[in-house]
Amino acid sequence: MGTPKRAVLGIAGALVVMMPVSVAKADGEAEITHLYREDAAADFLVPEGDCGPARSQVGVGGHQHFFKTNTAPLVHNVQLSVSIQLFDCEGQFVIGAEGIDATPQPFNIAKFLSSTRINTTIEACQTFPGPGECFPVEVHLKFRGVGRADIDRNDTDIDEPDCRIIEHDWTAVRNAKVWGTISYTLPGQEPRTLHVDTDDLGPFGATLRSASEFNYFKGSSGSCIEITG
């Protein structure tokens, strides 16, 4: 039997053949993995004070994933994150802080990248100009998907007498409108409650994203080859 090749069917339907570069599985046992994830992210630029260039840049993200294999229980993970950067009137970076809340909380994107909410309090800690005190950041944001989703899909199917590989990967990304409030008090600064919406978005904007990865491998090291890009 010749060395199997990988057939990748892209979103446009074009067939590309790629050469094998690594062994998929050595013991001949079947291995199945499935990962599904959802993400929401928004990046805001908010003016500070009366001196024009002074600004705060605030990023908020929500993430969840479900991962399972044929040999282990389902794993469900939720993470909510925030990052804050303060710039002075000369545009110099003054204070940076960030935090991640890994405690499971409600976070789901409705339907096909239609809408979601982030309602939580995240503990952020100062990271610039050096490690510093921590403080709560209260986040109440709503996301609504707008426009068409950008979808990317790749399918792989290898069926040899001693080798079976199936891979189905897809991602979908959609722009979003967003609105709500973010409240925090940076070390040495006054308390802030930002009333933000789509008009306050920075260069990274706001997006909703979902992705799925399904992989099936079965074969021996001598005949079953996992092909990667």
Residue 213 counted as domain residue:
yes
Residue 190 counted as domain residue:
yes
Percent with pLDDT over 90 in the chain: 65
CA separation (Å) from 170 to 48, 98, 165, 209? 41, 30, 17, 11
Q: Nearest Cα to 170, choosing from 55, 1, 10? A: 10
- Residue 226 has a pLDDT of 52
pLDDT of 12 above 50: no
- Residue 121, domain extent: 28-218
Stretch 3-10: mean pLDDT? 33
Least-confidence region, from 11-20, 201-210, 216-225: 11-20
Q: Report which of residues 40 and 228 the model is more confident about.
A: 40
Helix, strand, coil % in the chain, rounded to nearest 5:
0, 70, 30
- Residue 102 has a pLDDT of 82
Residue 162 counted as domain residue:
yes
Residue 21 counted as domain residue:
no
Stretch 137-159: mean pLDDT? 96
Tell me the per-residue pLDDT of 75-119, one tens digit each, with 9 for 90 and over. 999 999 999 999 988 889 999 999 999 876 789 999 999 999 999
Place of tokens 């446009």: 12
Q: Is 29 helix (H, G, I), strand (E, B) or coil?
A: coil
User: How does residue 23 score in pLDDT terms, banded at 50, 70 and 90?
Assistant: very low
DSSP-assigned states of every residue in 35-74 = EEEEEEEEEEEEE-TTSSS-EEEEEEEEEEEEEEETTEEE
Which residues 6+ apart lie within 8 Å of 7 measured at CB? Answer: 15, 16, 17, 156, 157, 158
Residue 1 counted as domain residue:
no
- Residue 16 has a pLDDT of 29
- Residue 51 has a pLDDT of 75
User: How does residue 181 score in pLDDT terms, banded at 50, 70 and 90?
Assistant: very high
CB 102 within 8 A of CB 122: no
Stretch 50-63: mean pLDDT? 86
The count of domains in the chain is: 1
Residue 46 counted as domain residue:
yes
Residue 228 counted as domain residue:
no
Stretch 40-61: mean pLDDT? 88
Residue 157 counted as domain residue:
yes
137 φ/ψ angles, rounded to the nearest 5 degrees:
-120, 115
